[in-house]
Structure 1
Amino acid sequence: MSESTIERISAQEMAERCARTMWDDDYASRGLGMELEEVHPGYARLSMTVREDMVNGHDNCHGGFIFTLADSAFAFSCNYNNFVTVAQGAGIDYLAPAKRGDRLTAIAEERSRGGRTGVYDIRVENQDGRVVALFRGKSYQTRAQMIPGLEVE
């Protein structure tokens, strides 16, 4: 691609365009009723209401759904610079139960990014601000671009 066909945009606009591109094809997050509320370079906030079909035999939100919410926030927080970035590992600690009808919010923040790897912390809390889970994700940036012809100015 020639220099003249490259569009240069701000880091914030890049994060927003990458998020829109991912969101359009993210059937899993949308299918679970997640909402992408905010995105900045290295930061994302997603929310989801715990539905009846997300509750386990203890009448709590199944941990897999909480993990998925945190993982989605992780994905949007680390895919901000137009290079496809994937998880290379993640772990979660469950601190409190979430109940049917709870509105969960996952706040993802970049802690470290160097070379092609990064570390992200995600806090999942309910509508009362009670922390339900803490998630840590480790990312790996590939060489593939999400939106060809774009770069940060």
Structure 2
Amino acid sequence: MNPTRDSEAQVRRLFANDRLAKHLGITLVEAGPGRAVTRLTVAENHLNIYSGGHGGTLFAMADATFGLACNSRAHVSIAISAHIAFVKGVQVGDVLTARATEQARTRRAGTYLVEIRRADDALVATFTGVAHVSDKAIEI
């Protein structure tokens, strides 16, 4: 048994059910216990009224990546708190990578940090999320 490989397979199965991520064009790059990486190329439908990257798109990307990281272990985890700080703008064509990492996890809660970066490694946004860890096993 390889926990990293098993975790990635579980996350890939969960990601296949994320309809919003699919709709936005978010792809899963990799995952493992307590972590996930996604990617998105900014398109016209990701823009706000000023033709810059929409904060809702960035939040959705970070939230999806957080959800994958916190559900990369044995029990269903549900977000109970999230915060995002927008650092730099994005434009059509920018390739964004979101990297979620587990900062702490107990039997009942997990805390995660998500950084979204452009291809030039510029930090676009930071997101922190807290998830409730349930007793329910992930079944997929």
TM range (shorter): over 0.9
Shift of 1:13: 3.0
Shift of 1:31: 1.4
Q: How does the TM-score come out when normalised to structure 1?
A: 0.87
Which 10-residue stretch deviates more, 138-147 or 111-120? 138-147
Cα RMSD for the two superposed structures: 1.3
2:27 equivalent in structure 1 = 35
Conserved 8 A contact 1:19-1:76: yes
Residue of 9, 12, 26 corresponding to 2:18: 26
User: Which structure has the higher relative contact order (CA within 8 Å, separation 6+)?
Assistant: 1
Tell me if 1:145 matches 2:140: no
Q: What percentage of aligned pairs have identical amino acids?
A: 31
Correspondence list, 1:95-114, <5 A = 95-114=87-106
CA distance in 2, matches of 1:43, 1:139: 14
Q: Letter of the aligned partner of 2:86 in structure 1?
A: Y
**Runs of 5+ unmatched residues, structure 2:** none
Conserved 8 A contact 1:118-1:139: yes
CA distance in 1, matches of 2:33, 2:67: 12
Q: Letter of the aligned partner of 2:47 in structure 1?
A: V
Tell me if 1:46 matches 2:38: yes
Q: Letter of the aligned partner of 2:21 in structure 1?
A: S
Count of aligned pairs: 140
Q: How does the TM-score come out when normalised to structure 2?
A: 0.94
CA distance in 2, matches of 1:20, 1:107: 15
Q: Return the index of the structure with the highest Cα Rg.
A: 1
Give the SS at the match of 2:16.
Answer: helix
Give the SS at the match of 1:25.
Answer: coil
